[in-house]
Amino acid sequence: MLRGPEDLHRLVVELVEDSAADGAVWTEVSVSASGFHRRLTGSDEATMELVCDAVAVADGQAGVVIGIDRSRDAEQPGALAGLAATWAGRGVVGLGLAGDERASCAPFARAAQIARDAGLQVVPHSGELRGPDSIREVLTVLRPNRLMHGVRAAEDPALVAELADRGVCLDLCPTSNVALGVVARLAEHPLPGLVRSGVSCSLNADNTLVFSTDLADEYRIAREALGLTDNEIATLARASLTASAAPAVVVAAGVAGIDDWLELHPGS
C-alpha cells in the first residue's frame, strides 16, 4: 500500500530498475492522470512532478505515459491531455486510454490530437476484452502510434493485414491474456501468427504484481511455450524500441545490441 509521496516515488524508481534488470534499455511507466494519486501528493501537478522526477533517476532510460480512463475521465479528457502536453519534454512521452473497451473512444479524439500536437505518442488499450471492432474504431478515431494489447486482432485476417501495412505495433502480454481469459492457454496465444504475418509486436509484462510475471518471463514464454525463433525474438525486441517513444540514441544503441546478440545465434 502506498502511504505517502515517497512510496510512489520509490515505486516508479524500482519499477524502472526491475525492468532494466530484465534487460530493458527503455521503460514507459503508465500513470493514471485522473487524481488517483492526489491523496498522496496533494494535486495532479505534484503527482506529475514526483513521477517525472522518479523517471529522471533513470537518466534517459524511461518515460511516462499519462493514462485516461474511458469511463472515469469521460468528462475531462481534454484537460488531462493538456496536463500530459504540459509535461511533454519533461518526462511525459505518451497519452494512453484504458478502462472498459465497451465505451466508445470517440469522446477522446480531441485528447489524442492534443497529445499529437505536443509531440506525444498515442497508445490506447484496445482489442483485449473486445474484438477487432474496437481496434478498427481506435485506428480510425485516435490514429494511434501503437496499441496496448490488440491481441484479438488475430480474429480478423483483414485487420491483421491492415496492421502490418500501417506498421501499428501491438504491445502484447501473453501471461495476462491467459490470466484474464482472453486466450484459453499459452499454447493458443496468437503471438507467433501475428509476428509471422508481419505485424509489429512487442512483449510486455502488463502488471507484474498482479500477474506474477516480468519481462524476462515473457521472453522465455515466447521461446519455450510459443516456439519463436531467435530471429523472431530479435524482431520483437527491435519493435519494442522502434515503436516506443525512446530517444533516438537509446533506440540506436538498443537495436545495435540486439543485432550483436543475433550474430551469436546465426541461422536460428
Among the listed residues 53, 44, 72, 25, the one whose alpha carbon sits nearest the alpha carbon of residue 240: 25
CATH assignment at residue 54: 3.20.20.140
C-beta atoms surrounding 100 within 10 Å:
12
The answer to whether position 189 is within a domain reads no
How many C-alpha atoms does 8 have within 13 Å on its Cβ side?
22
Q: pLDDT confidence of 123, banded at 50, 70, 90?
A: very high
Among the listed residues 184, 196, 253, 191, the one whose alpha carbon sits nearest the alpha carbon of residue 222: 191
- The reported pLDDT for the residue numbered 103 is 86
Asked whether 61 and 250 are in contact (CB, 8 A), the reply is yes
- The reported pLDDT for the residue numbered 6 is 85
The answer to whether position 41 is within a domain reads yes
Among the listed residues 43, 45, 44, 54, the one whose alpha carbon sits nearest the alpha carbon of residue 8: 54
Query: Among 28, 128, 218, 232, which one carries the catalytic annotation?
Result: 128
Helix (H) or strand (E) holding 238: helix 230-242
Residues 6 or more apart in contact with residue 178 via CB below 8 angstroms = 184, 185, 186, 189
The answer to whether position 171 is within a domain reads no
In terms of residue numbers, what domain contains 61? Answer: 1-126
Q: Is the pLDDT of residue 33 over 70?
A: no
Active site residue 75: no
The answer to whether position 262 is within a domain reads no
Q: pLDDT confidence of 185, banded at 50, 70, 90?
A: very high
Q: What is the mean predicted confidence (pLDDT) over 242-255?
A: 97
- Of 9-13, 70-74, 191-195, where does mean pLDDT reach its minimum? 70-74
Asked whether 134 and 101 are in contact (CB, 8 A), the reply is yes
Q: pLDDT confidence of 35, banded at 50, 70, 90?
A: low
- The reported pLDDT for the residue numbered 99 is 86
The answer to whether position 265 is within a domain reads no
Q: How many domains does the chain have?
A: 1
- The reported pLDDT for the residue numbered 181 is 94
The answer to whether position 242 is within a domain reads no
pLDDT tens track for 212-230 = 889 999 999 999 999 999 9
- The reported pLDDT for the residue numbered 40 is 76
The answer to whether position 6 is within a domain reads yes
Q: What is the mean predicted confidence (pLDDT) over 105-116?
A: 95
The answer to whether position 80 is within a domain reads yes
User: Cβ-count burial of 167 within 10 angstroms (0-12 exposed, 13-18 middle, 19+ buried)?
Assistant: middle
